Structure 1
Amino acid sequence: MSSFAEDLHAALAGPDRSISPKYFYDTQGSALFEQICELPEYYPTRTELALLRRHAGDFAERMGHGAQLIEYGAGALVKVRLLLERARHLHSFVPVDISGPHLLAACEALQREQPALRILPVVADFTRMHVLPDPPADGRRIGFFPGSSIGNFEPDEALQFLRLLREELDGGALLIGVDLIKDPALLHAAYNDAQGVTARFNQNLLRHAQRALGLECDPDAFDHYAFYDPRRHRIEMHLLPRGPQMLQLQGRQYLLSPGDSLHTENSHKYSVESFQALAREAGFRPAAHWTDARDWFSLHWLEA
């Protein structure tokens, strides 16, 4: 039984009915997320891109000569291009992503643009133990984790994940994007866009399960629901059944009634200070951070 099937059975059986957002990302889900990143309401992507453009030279200098750049959750390889343009003396680039076809297609396009770049893609769930290519003999491993994806982890999970990266990047560093606490109205708009792309992205978890696992259900019978919890400093995303919904997975049936939900994602927001404290607890040394003029988003350089 695949981990996706195991996790979906566990989520549908309850009691919490919660599943990892990594299962959004098959080929269709990855494409929908790219659309989200272009939405006018979705500030994180354009704000982070502006920071990366402004400080790319500093990042490249901090990497040093002969570094191996590892991007976790690489996706379409959009943001990392800003680093690759300035880091001219890399040993290799290692993009890691769970969606194999999407990753490999993005790598082929990047290779055409930069034929001299050594690209070593790894199709894997980067939140679990995975195998990376050998590190360079004379350079450091530099991790890149943009998009504030760290916010998708529960705080204890974020700590364990950062500890995993700390071991993997031993002697190197991590450049990570972190979304900051802000006006809840801005957050609500970002996760409830007028075009409904985020709703389709949320429903794609069920469509992914239909394609990959043969799940029998009607994704259109579930509403997208996202809200900000100020006590936990996080956005929560849920799928709410519109009336009683029977889902069948591998011979087992699950009934979701009105008022039930399938909890599909959290997106925790941090202050600079709270994230740096988390990084220190994981064994990193915060060396520098950058924010935009409105303090909506931050980038952190963590020495391993």
Structure 2
Amino acid sequence: MNAPLPHLAPSASLDDTADKGFLRDVLAGLGAPHKHLSAKYFYDRRGSELFEAITRLPEYYPTRTELAILDRYGPEIAAGLPPGAALVEFGSGSTTKVRRLLPHLGDLSAYVPVDVSEEFLRSEAEELCRDFPRLRVEPVAADFTKPFPLPDDLAEAPKAGFFPGSTIGNFEPDAAAGLLGSFARTLGAGATLIVGIDLVKEKAVLDAAYDDEAQVTAAFNLNLLTRINRELGADFDLDAFAHHAFFDENLGRIEMHLVSRRSQLVTVAGVPFHFASGETIHTENSYKYTVPGFRALARRAGWEHTRVWTDEDGLFSVHALTASTIRRH
């Protein structure tokens, strides 16, 4: 057995009701008039690996564009964080993006990656400790869409949040404002939040980004059914479902669906669900924003917009916010 790394704190574990929540959400989503599943369940270990593969695809511009912004403006972004801050990354996944900021943040009191995939979280945290041996890493295995406690030993440290990747776009606008409000309550008044936001652009560019030629995004979408089969005793036939993604210009969002190729019956934990041919399971939305549109959303949630950085082509943006108002509900 390997000795623990010197600056890696034991990770806090997910609540033991997580599996029950997964089953409850799947049964409710498949039993709804318009079948749907939560995008947060994409990220088991295989799903996390597939998403990392998506970020390297030629069609998928968001990750490389955001990384270029972080590389170019990293010193400016880091300068806006309070000295001695604990940096909390919501939905950390791979540490690729925070690594762009860490060289400019030598005085962090701790880095707190928060992710629902506990095994992947621990693996990434250990690797980060090897590469940044002076950094204290305190991983928290949690669903960041729900309230969770930060490590007790960081109670007195100023807080900063990091939420890259335009993950906020996966939420309906009202829910997105609610999530930003939850982040403010977790981090506290005066905290800073750095958040990545994908911008509105041509439909063809967006469609290609979510329906790549190599079909990696299709595998990512279908892996959700694999997970349900494995963890919830379902009998989905993956060959009987197809990936479908498109940009809805009226709603300003990408939609991802799994389309039933035929009429079929599927059971989950013994509960039957009928699918008509062509019926879909709505698995994800990804809203795209304008800079003024996101600024207004942040303001609704009690955040003051202080800075924005974009690439030259206006594909993506990184925003700095300050928690001006803590709303309890």
Segment of structure 1 superposing worse, 112-121 or 273-282: 112-121
Q: Does 1:198 align with 2:217?
A: yes
> What is the correspondence of 1:65-104 to structure 2 with a 5 Å cutoff?
65-104=83-122
> What is the correspondence of 1:97-116 to structure 2 with a 5 Å cutoff?
97-116=115-134
Which letter does structure 2 place at the counterpart of 1:18?
H
> What is the correspondence of 1:85-234 to structure 2 with a 5 Å cutoff?
85-134=103-152, 136=154, 139-170=157-188, 171-234=190-253
Question: Contact (CA 8 Å) 1:66, 1:138: kept in 2 or not?
Answer: no
Structure 2 gap segments, 5+ residues each: 1-18, 324-329
Q: Deviations over 1:120-166 (max 9, x none)?
A: 00001000111211374664211000000000000111011011011
Segment of structure 1 superposing worse, 7-16 or 178-187: 7-16
Which letter does structure 2 place at the counterpart of 1:49?
L
Q: Distance in 1 between matches of 2:177 and 2:81?
A: 24
Which residue, 301, 307, 315 being the options, matches 1:288?
307
Question: Contact (CA 8 Å) 1:68, 1:135: kept in 2 or not?
Answer: no
Shift of 1:220: 2.2
Question: Contact (CA 8 Å) 2:39, 2:170: kept in 1 or not?
Answer: yes
Question: Contact (CA 8 Å) 1:146, 1:175: kept in 2 or not?
Answer: yes
Question: Contact (CA 8 Å) 1:47, 1:297: kept in 2 or not?
Answer: yes
Shift of 1:83: 1.0
Which letter does structure 2 place at the counterpart of 1:296?
L
Q: Distance in 2 between matches of 1:45 and 1:190?
A: 11
Q: Distance in 2 between matches of 1:245 and 1:30?
A: 29
Q: Does 1:237 align with 2:256?
A: yes
What SS does structure 1 have at the residue aligned with 2:306?
strand
Q: Distance in 2 between matches of 1:243 and 1:136?
A: 53
What SS does structure 2 have at the residue aligned with 1:243?
coil
Question: Contact (CA 8 Å) 1:63, 1:140: kept in 2 or not?
Answer: no
Question: Contact (CA 8 Å) 1:145, 1:176: kept in 2 or not?
Answer: yes
Which letter does structure 2 place at the counterpart of 1:65?
P
Task: Report how many residues are paired.
Answer: 304
Q: Deviations over 1:8-31 (max 9, x none)?
A: 101111212122101110000000
Q: CA RMSD in A?
A: 1.1
Q: Distance in 1 between matches of 2:81 and 2:182?
A: 20
Shift of 1:225: 0.3
What SS does structure 2 have at the residue aligned with 1:85?
helix
